[in-house]
């Protein structure tokens, strides 16, 4: 969408309509008619993202070299010289420090006008120096990408920039510094396959394309034409590569939420408060009724879903999508937000209230991609030092052929191991059905809670009845024998507390159910958050080590745990 200087009307390449230049500029070059996002150059992007008056451009020692003495139709130094005159920039990357809604940040922006935003030694150096600055100061790093790939004129030295920038982002992972990429159109090749996709959170502008190989190259190779949306933001979201799509005017507020949660984690360590008084820990206080009644109550579709609870309990929520491996499972939702004053990562299985919602969410039965998305978010929580809350309502992991092809067992097993070792406080709540390994894959936590009408079981009562009684009609008897209800599980020590439900069950009063859950969770988190990472992990491992242990062995384990803690 280029236009001559001073022209009043211009033609939108998205919808082909004439649009008024000034309203287009006011909207940060987004078409007011069709929402087409036209390119911003680096100075425009920095002005759009950063708080007014906060920007300080970072000076870099830029290598000014033509390492190969390269010439195609013209010598490389001549191309560089022209690009500098045309853009007013030294190179294709501009880095600056500044603030977004008051949160300090270091931003590196690629400018597509400068030789297609290509990755040169100087660009690699600028990105790396920005990352090193972020590391020294522990300030979050935001990368805004637009690039055709590595710069051919610098040959294999351009290729090496992929390794150099990637290891710089790796160091930020080790140091727990948040990284976010804003993918803009187009982001390809060496930039897509290095720093652009290594960030903790990847946000794409609508329609922005990202890929390793270009569309034409792929079409020529496979001799097929690709769908229109191939490699677009929408395609990338569906395939689990990006976390979210945000229109340009929402980027600042989304970034501010992420920056706030990632940098405020220390602020909430206010010390231990009163224990969670809202929790029932004495089985005698729970209603004694037939477990089959509880099974039916737990499955009721009017109960609050995970997203209902998140909507009522988690403020400033940013939902994150995808396993970064090719899928985004709709049965698992998760993201970052605040529970009361505590920044958390929340993850849960999502069913729905209607047949349409259930279909859309895969009946709340996660695929391997769902468990891998959960794992990715839990690793993010560990990196940023945020507690993890999981909400569980699933009949079980999805029993499908594709799930098996994609390693359902491996995905579940890897979550069990990952959760056992997470160095941050973790709490699981079974809010409805807790179905077998598919539920446990989100429930290896410091404390495991259940709503009073929830159930948690190794197999569904129907499944058990058909295998052992050879009769699904025996499901009520199986439910009783399996001891799936909160009262039984509290007695068995499988759960630590029960969140009381309002009269008539959680479905009868969502607000009251959410309020009880909030009180229970904040109480548990305030008990856990003052503990150091070593204690958190040792306690959690001891919790699960005990199941099935002979009593005297348990005593020995207690002593061992105590010793381990003392030496830690």
- Close Cβ partners of 123 (under 8 Å, ≥ 6 residues apart): 91, 92, 93, 110, 151, 161
Q: In the structure encoding, which two tokens stand for residue 226, read together?
A: 């690709």
Containing 448, the helix (H) or strand (E) segment is: strand 447-451
- Close Cβ partners of 202 (under 8 Å, ≥ 6 residues apart): 180, 181, 183, 196, 241, 242, 243
Burial bucket for residue 474 (CB in 10 Å: 0-12, 13-18, 19+): middle
Stretch that binds Zn ion, among 23-31, 100-108, 186-194, 382-390 (CB under 5 A): 23-31
Q: Angle formed by the axes of helices 291-298 and 475-482, to 10°?
A: 100
The C-alpha atoms of residue 334 and residue 320 are separated, in whole angstroms, by: 6
Q: Which is nearer to Zn ion, 2 or 73 (CB)?
A: 2
Chain-centroid distance, C-alpha 23:
35
Stretch that binds Zn ion, among 8-16, 279-287, 303-311, 427-435 (CB under 5 A): 8-16
Out of 10, 36, 110, 351, which residue is the one contacting Zn ion (CB under 5 A)? 36
Counting contacts by CB under 5 A, is residue 34 touching Zn ion?
yes
Counting contacts by CB under 5 A, is residue 30 touching Zn ion?
no
Counting contacts by CB under 5 A, is residue 116 touching Zn ion?
no
Q: Which of residues 137-196 bind Zn ion (CB under 5 A)?
A: none
Q: Cβ 10 to Zn ion, closest distance in Å?
A: 10
Counting contacts by CB under 5 A, is residue 12 touching Zn ion?
yes
Q: Which is nearer to Zn ion, 32 or 77 (CB)?
A: 32
The size of the interface with Zn ion (CB under 5 A), counted in residues, is 7
Containing 146, the helix (H) or strand (E) segment is: strand 141-147
Q: Cβ 16 to Zn ion, closest distance in Å?
A: 7
Q: Cβ 403 to Zn ion, closest distance in Å?
A: 41
Q: Cβ 22 to Zn ion, closest distance in Å?
A: 15
- Close Cβ partners of 162 (under 8 Å, ≥ 6 residues apart): 119, 124, 150, 190, 193, 194
Out of 10, 24, 30, 31, which residue is the one contacting Zn ion (CB under 5 A)? 31
Q: Cβ 1 to Zn ion, closest distance in Å?
A: 9
Name residue 319's beta-bridge partners.
335
Q: Which is nearer to Zn ion, 209 or 361 (CB)?
A: 209
CB 499 within 8 A of CB 279: yes
The dihedral sign for the CA sequence 14, 16, 17, 19:
positive
Counting contacts by CB under 5 A, is residue 14 touching Zn ion?
yes
The C-alpha atoms of residue 263 and residue 494 are separated, in whole angstroms, by: 34
Q: Cβ 36 to Zn ion, closest distance in Å?
A: 4
Counting contacts by CB under 5 A, is residue 33 touching Zn ion?
yes
Q: Which is nearer to Zn ion, 111 or 185 (CB)?
A: 185
Which residue reads 């879903």 in tokens?
Answer: 305
Counting contacts by CB under 5 A, is residue 15 touching Zn ion?
yes
Stretch that binds Zn ion, among 10-18, 183-191, 254-262, 485-493 (CB under 5 A): 10-18
Q: Cβ 225 to Zn ion, closest distance in Å?
A: 25
Footprint on this chain of Zn ion (rule: CB under 5 A): 12, 14-15, 31, 33-34, 36
Annotated binding site for Zn(2+): 12, 15, 31, 34
């Amino acid at each position: 969408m280029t236009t001559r200087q001073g022209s009043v009307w211009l033609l939108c390449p998205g919808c082909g309509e004439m649009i008024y230049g000034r309203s287009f500029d006011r909207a940060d070059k987004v078409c007011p008619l069709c929402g087409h996002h036209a390119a911003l150059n680096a100075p425009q992007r920095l002005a759009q993202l950063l708080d007014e008056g906060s920007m300080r451009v970072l000076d870099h020692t830029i290598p000014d070299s033509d390492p190969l003495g390269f010439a195609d139709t013209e010598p490389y130094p001549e191309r560089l010289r022209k690009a500098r005159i045309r853009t007013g920039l030294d190179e294709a990357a501009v880095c600056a420090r500044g603030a977004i809604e008051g949160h300090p940040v270091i931003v590196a922006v690629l400018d597509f006008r400068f030789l297609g935003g290509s990755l040169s030694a100087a660009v690699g150096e600028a990105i790396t120096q920005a990352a090193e600055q972020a590391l020294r100061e522990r300030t979050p790093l935001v990368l805004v990408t637009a690039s055709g790939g590595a710069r051919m004129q610098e040959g294999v030295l351009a290729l090496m920039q992929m390794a150099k920038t990637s290891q710089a982002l790796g160091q930020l992972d080790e140091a727990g510094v948040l990284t976010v990429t804003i993918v803009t159109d187009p982001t390809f090749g060496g930039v897509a396959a290095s720093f652009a996709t290594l960030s903790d959170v990847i946000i794409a502008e609508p329609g922005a394309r990202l890929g390793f190989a270009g569309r034409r190259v792929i079409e020529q190779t496979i001799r097929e034409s690709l769908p229109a949306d191939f490699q677009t933001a929408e395609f990338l979201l569906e395939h689990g590569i990006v976390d979210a799509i945000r229109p340009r005017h929402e980027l600042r507020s989304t970034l501010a939420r992420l920056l706030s949660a990632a940098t405020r984690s220390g602020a909430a360590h206010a010390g231990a408060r009163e224990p969670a008084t809202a929790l029932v820990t004495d089985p005698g206080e729970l209603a004694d009724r037939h477990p089959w009644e509880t099974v039916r109550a737990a499955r009721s579709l009017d109960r609050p879903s995970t997203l209902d609870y998140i909507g009522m309990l988690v403020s400033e929520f940013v939902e994150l999508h995808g396993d970064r491996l090719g899928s985004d499972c709709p049965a698992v939702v998760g993201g970052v937000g605040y529970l009361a004053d505590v920044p958390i990562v929340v993850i849960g299985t999502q069913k729905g209230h209607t047949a349409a919602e259930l279909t859309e969410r895969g009946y709340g039965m996660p695929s391997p991609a769902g468990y891998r998305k959960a794992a990715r978010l839990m690793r993010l929580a560990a990196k940023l030092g945020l507690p993890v809350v999981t909400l569980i309502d699933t009949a079980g992991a999805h029993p499908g052929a594709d799930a098996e092809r994609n390693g359902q067992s491996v995905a579940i097993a890897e979550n069990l191991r990952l959760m056992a070792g997470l160095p941050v406080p973790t709490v699981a709540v079974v809010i409805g059905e807790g179905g077998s390994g598919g539920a446990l894959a989100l429930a290896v936590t410091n404390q495991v809670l259940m709503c009073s009408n929830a159930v948690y079981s190794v197999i569904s009562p129907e499944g058990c009845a058909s295998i052992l009684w050879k009769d699904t009609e025996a499901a009520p008897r199986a439910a009783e024998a399996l001891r799936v209800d909160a009262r039984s599980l509290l007695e068995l020590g499988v759960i630590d507390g029960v969140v009381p439900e309002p009269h008539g069950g959680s479905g009868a009063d969502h607000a009251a159910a959410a309020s009880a859950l909030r009180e229970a969770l904040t109480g548990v988190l305030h008990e856990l958050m003052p503990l150091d990472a070593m204690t958190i992990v040792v306690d959690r491992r001891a919790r699960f080590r005990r199941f099935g242990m002979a009593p005297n062995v348990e005593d020995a384990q207690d002593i061992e745990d105590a010793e381990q803690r003392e030496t830690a």
